[in-house]
Amino acid sequence: MKKIYFLLLLAALSFQSALAQNDNLKHPSAVAKEDGFSYRSLLKLLDMDSIYIGSKFESGYHDWLSILYSRMGRYKEARREAEACGTQFIDNMRFKHNYKDAKAIPLSEMMDSIIGNNRVIMMNEMHFNPHSRAFVISWLEKCYENGYRYLAAETLRASDSLLNQRRTVLKGETGWYSDEPVFGDLFRTALNMGYTLVPYEGDGFGVDREVNQAKNLVQNILDKDPEAKFLLLGGFGHIADRNGWYAMGRYFKEQSGIDPFTMSCIFFDDAYGETDSLQTVYYDLIDAMPNREPILFYDTVKHIYPCTSGMDVTCCLPRTHFIKDNIPDWKLYNGKVLFTLDRRFIDENGFPEGCVSAFLKSEGEECVPIDQYMYGKDEKEFKLALYKGEYLLRFDDGKEYKYATIEVK
């Protein structure tokens, strides 16, 4: 009997200890911040797997792993962690019901009309999948030619007040998510074209945050330039502008009197080949086009098909094809080329496994890299998507750095 009491007491003490540990557990974002949301942050969080799984932060743990994997060029792992998070994907039954009668039309047939007939175009993105960020890059030149001069982004920090004068994107300073190479390059491309980048994040939570985001857009752009045209990139559902949706897009419409064109780019999220039957229909349609391009959804009477996200149109981006397994085809924009790092070069200049970041030599490692990749010791070679020019390569094994230089011709 004493033995049973002893075991029960031991179990109770263990339970109390677990509760205390859970109460003292840091949020994964706080852990990631300690190493600048970098490769080392990812390694640290992966080592804490047994602590976070089953804790009150389990969902947030998967969320931050998805974001960090995405920054390191590991998009399939990022998708896996986002699915484990459980909050990033819509209900399939609702999805199928709302698109069962939809028709599709290539974006190229509508892009000029969308740009020409609107002053404000809002798009959204998933934080773990840079595909939509690359998609926004494809809008920049044509929008600029049509008088758009501002790019607003939810991620931008107002504290980086010299961004538009400096015209470089700094790690850890310019934005929350812009340390990811494609996002950083979106801003780099816009700055080089002549866009002014505009932060608009608002204080508060819930509706307060949405209202303040809209207020900041009006104050930061329209109050200074009443005739301004601008593009905006927001996260997930914040750009929704229909009645019944308590989101920034709706409050912006009410405060400014401007009806923005809102485009959802996330509901047909490319699952890297693991799509359901309905999504596959539309991806197959894109694959059959002479030039693979995004498609917009229409209903049977040819109105732009509004999805249940509270936005004006749904866009389906082309299915991702991986080049040499690690480079998604949507990374080859703006004339980027593939550069191969083989095992011999890695062993001579870096570490058996780790992360390599490619910085423009003219910018240095304080800026967001053009590309980076977390590689394993068994990979004989892998590709980076780079512009032509000179680069500083930084290899990181989680403890120290090694450097090399390359020229991409």
Q: pTM of the predicted model, to two decimals?
A: 0.89
pLDDT of 71-120, one tens digit each? 999 999 998 898 888 654 544 545 555 566 667 789 999 999 999 999 99
pLDDT of 242-284, one tens digit each? 877 889 999 999 999 999 999 988 876 665 555 555 566 677 7
Region of poorest pLDDT, from 38-42, 55-59, 139-143, 319-323? 319-323
pLDDT at 91: 47
Q: Where do the domains of the chain lie?
A: 2-85, 95-316, 335-408
pLDDT at 99: 60
Determine the Cα–Cα distance for residues 7 and 9; give it in Å rounded to an integer.
Answer: 5
Q: Are 166 and 235 in contact (CB under 8 A)?
A: no
Cβ-count burial of 4 within 10 angstroms (0-12 exposed, 13-18 middle, 19+ buried)?
Answer: exposed
Determine the Cα–Cα distance for residues 8 and 402; give it in Å rounded to an integer.
Answer: 53
Share of the chain above pLDDT 90, in %: 68
pLDDT of 154-213, one tens digit each? 999 999 999 999 999 999 999 989 999 999 999 999 999 999 999 999 999 999 999 999
DSSP string, 196-236: EEEE---SSSHHHHHHHHHHHHIIIIITT-TT--EEEEEET
pLDDT band at 18 (very low <50, low <70, confident <90, very high): very low
pLDDT at 16: 40
Options 3.40.50, 3.30.70, 3.10.20, 2.30.30; CATH of 95-316: 3.40.50
Determine the Cα–Cα distance for residues 255 and 199; give it in Å rounded to an integer.
Answer: 18
**CATH class of the domain comprising 335-408:** mainly beta
Q: Are 374 and 354 in contact (CB under 8 A)?
A: yes
Mean per-residue pLDDT, 318-347: 92
